[in-house]
Amino acid sequence: MGKVDKTATLVLLCCCLLLAGSSCNGGMSATSVVRPTSQSPIPTVIDRGLLYGEPCAPPCWEGITPRVSTEAAVVRSLIRLKAEGRIEKYSRGPVSYLVIPPGPAGGSITIFLSEDGFVSSISLGYWGTDNLRVKRLIDRYGEPEAVVLYYEFERSAPCSCGDWDDQLYNSAPPSNALLLYPSHGMSVGVIVPNAYLGCICPEMMTLGFSYYQPITIEEALQSGRTPVFLMADLDAEDLSKWHGYGSGYNH
């Protein structure tokens, strides 16, 4: 796997934190990861569509689908969702709608618009929950079509998921990974503790999602910066093939 430079690392980190309604200066850090009890609910951001396909499955979110839904359809859906109590508020920005769900688990949905008036992509981010781990995602959607890891290569080392310890999220600033499902129109951000660089483990926490019109990885690579890669400019050497949980994703 080719080296992903620190600029791309910063781009991904900022994108993930922006998905969660934060900023690069004040977002999630290793010491601010909140892990409530196992009884905590899954955030409204992801509870119905991603896990249960209600009212629609990715890349559709609450009836809004990239390259299908117009801005007028987005507004109608948001008005309905607010009336139902499924979102707390929404606001229109220059090129997107920012949507905030209710409840104690923070999160946000950003619906991006293209110049032709259609939805171009949807980003979903959240924090304050550990209920959606990588294993649950893969159990539902199957193996990812590719994996991208972001970190400094000189710090990578062999690791094993068998000695997983959640406390290691607090030992050093975590890195990030992407699980790519382009045929589903979905990419998933994952938090990787520094002690597990080079690994993908079932207990790793997801951080955010990008929904887009389904596309092949080859088409995404030709397109450059696309929602498939959370706006990071990657090439084929930056992608690893999925080969199960564990190590070996560092080259």
pLDDT tens string, the chain, 251 residues long: the values are: 444 443 344 334 434 434 443 333 333 333 333 333 333 445 566 778 888 888 899 999 999 999 999 999 999 999 999 998 888 999 999 999 999 988 766 688 999 999 999 999 999 988 655 568 999 999 999 999 999 887 654 445 677 898 888 888 877 777 889 999 999 999 999 988 888 888 899 999 898 899 999 999 999 888 877 888 876 778 888 889 999 999 888 65
* In-domain check, residue 50: yes
pTM assigned to the model: 0.82
Identify whether 1 is part of a domain: no
| 190 belongs to a structural domain | yes
pLDDT, position 127? 66
Sign of CA dihedral 13, 19, 23, 26: negative
Q: What pLDDT score does 44 carry?
A: 62
Count of CB atoms within 10 A of residue 102's CB?
Answer: 14
> Amino acid letter at 45?
V
Assigned domain for 34 exists: no
Q: Is there a domain that residue 82 lies in?
A: yes
Residue 234 has a pLDDT of 80
In the chain, how long is the greatest CA-to-CA distance? 52
**C-alpha of 83 from chain center:** 27
Domain count, the chain: 1
Q: Residue 186's closest CA among 152, 210, 161?
A: 210
Residue 15: what residue type? C
Structural domain includes residue 66: yes
Distance CA 12, CA 233 (A): 10
Q: Looking at the domain assignment, is residue 243 inside a domain? A: no
Phi, psi (5° rounding) for residue 72?
-60, -40
- Retrieve residue 187's tokens: 């990419």
Domain that holds residue 220: 6-23+41-238
Q: Is 33 inside a domain boundary?
A: no
